[in-house]
Homo-oligomer: A and B are copies of this chain.
Amino acid sequence: MAKIAGKGRKPRRPYHHGNLRRGLLDEALATIRAEGVDRLTLREIGTRLGVSRTALYRHFADKRALLAAVATEGFRTLRQHLEAAWVEGGRNREAFEAMGTAYIRFAIANSSHYRVMFGGSIDPKVCGPELAAEAAGAFQALVDALSSLQRAGIVRADDTLTTARYVWAVVHGVSMLAINGQLPDPVSIDGLTRYTSDRLLTGIDVGRALSGAPRG
């Protein structure tokens, strides 16, 4: 990766890393995955990268800024998962349900990362525009899919933004309950995920008696 130093040039490669910022982000995320946000320590990240404890401050304003950057990358990845599910599913009603399932699956598979994204340890107003933009991008994937289904006459023609927020709240709520251990076991998580796929579109009242899950 690094340029090979020519004869006349000093071999002045950067102190330790070609891209320390990248390394800091990766190491922070690895620690968050392995031990949770609470155990994340700037000092340990530094020593783990073979760098001073304060080198980080050349790339991030403070710890919160580092966490905001981690969250930003999380929203980018989430959007990719959502768009993939929508496109590969065929951009229809089933694809929309697959999108919801993909959302929940992402949250569970990356629970610590997801908690940083939504944990409230970072507030969107303070942490620069990148985080807000990336979060809005992930949300936009949902809005676009929903808007498409509305034009196709599959989803109610309510205000698109409000409907999208509702869908977001539902999958977010399921994800949080699953992550927080408030659902007793994996079976109940799967069950709730499937149930959500069904009920989100048709509601929980009677009058749609046919297509539902059995009383189980």
Interface positions of A (Cβ within 8 A of B): 38, 115, 118-121, 123-125, 135, 153-159, 161-163, 165-174, 176-177, 179-183, 188, 191-192, 195-196, 199-206, 208-209, 212-213, 215-216
Q: Closest Cβ of chain B: how far from A106's Cβ, in Å?
A: 15
Tally of this chain's copies = 2
B170 touches A170 (CB 8 A): yes
A166 touches B203 (CB 8 A): no
Q: Closest Cβ of chain B: how far from A189's Cβ, in Å?
A: 9
A182 touches B213 (CB 8 A): no
| Distance, CA A195 to CA B161, complexed state (A) | 11
- Which residues of chain B are within 8 angstroms of A203 by Cβ–Cβ distance? 199-204, 208
A195 touches B213 (CB 8 A): no
- Which residues of chain B are within 8 angstroms of A155 by Cβ–Cβ distance? 204-206
Evaluate whether A195 and B156 lie within 8 angstroms (CB atoms) in the complex, with A123-B181, A171-B173, A173-B171 already known. no
A216 touches B170 (CB 8 A): no
A206 touches B172 (CB 8 A): no
- Which residues of chain B are within 8 angstroms of A209 by Cβ–Cβ distance? 156
- Which residues of chain B are within 8 angstroms of A135 by Cβ–Cβ distance? 182
